[in-house]
Amino acid sequence: AQKITQTQPGMFVQEKEAVTLDCTYDTSDPSYGLFWYKQPSSGEMIFLIYQGSYDQQNATEGRYSLNFQKARKSANLVISASQLGDSAMYFCAMREGDYTGTASKLTFGTGTRLQVTL
């Protein structure tokens, strides 16, 4: 089974509107972390937001928020007030387990291509 599933290969949103990018995950480990990255056409993966499995509140970073529904194992990214510069690939990733003292490993989804239109 896939660890990270992103079911939307492509999405369109109008400038200034909000958009939700879906991500579901599969793990039996009680300790895990969920990450969202943005990859513009230039190739660099840009970290956007993080949610820990024990975090009580949904994470927010500026225009980005993470809709974390633990029971459903979903971690959707919400981008408010979309801008043309938001057009990119968006990847959801998960780190399973507690990597205290060691380097962690991320499993990535296949990504969603977001296109912001005028």
Partner 1 sequence: ETGVTQTPRHLVMGMTNKKSLKCEQHLGHNAMYWYKQSAKKPLELMFVYNFKEQTENNSVPSRFSPECPNSSHLFLHLHTLQPEDSALYLCASSPTAHRGHTDTQYFGPGTRLTVL
Instruction: Give the distance, in angstroms, between the CA of residue 7 and the centroid of all CA atoms in the same chain.
Output: 12
CB 39 within 8 A of CB 91: yes
Reported as half-sphere exposure (CB side, CA atoms, 13 A), residue 94 has a value of 25
Q: Which is nearer to partner 1, 35 or 68 (CB)?
A: 35
Residue with tokens 């969920």: 34
Minimum Å gap between C-beta 15 and partner 1 is: 26
Query: Which positions lie near partner 1, rule CB under 8 A?
Result: 4, 33, 35, 37, 42-47, 50, 52, 91, 93, 95, 98-111
Q: Which is nearer to partner 1, 30 or 52 (CB)?
A: 52
DSSP 4-60: EE---SEEEEETT--EEE--EE----S-EEEEEEEE-TT---EEEEEEETT-SS--E
Q: Which is nearer to partner 1, 20 or 98 (CB)?
A: 98
Minimum Å gap between C-beta 27 and partner 1 is: 16
Minimum Å gap between C-beta 110 and partner 1 is: 5
Q: Which is nearer to partner 1, 33 or 79 (CB)?
A: 33
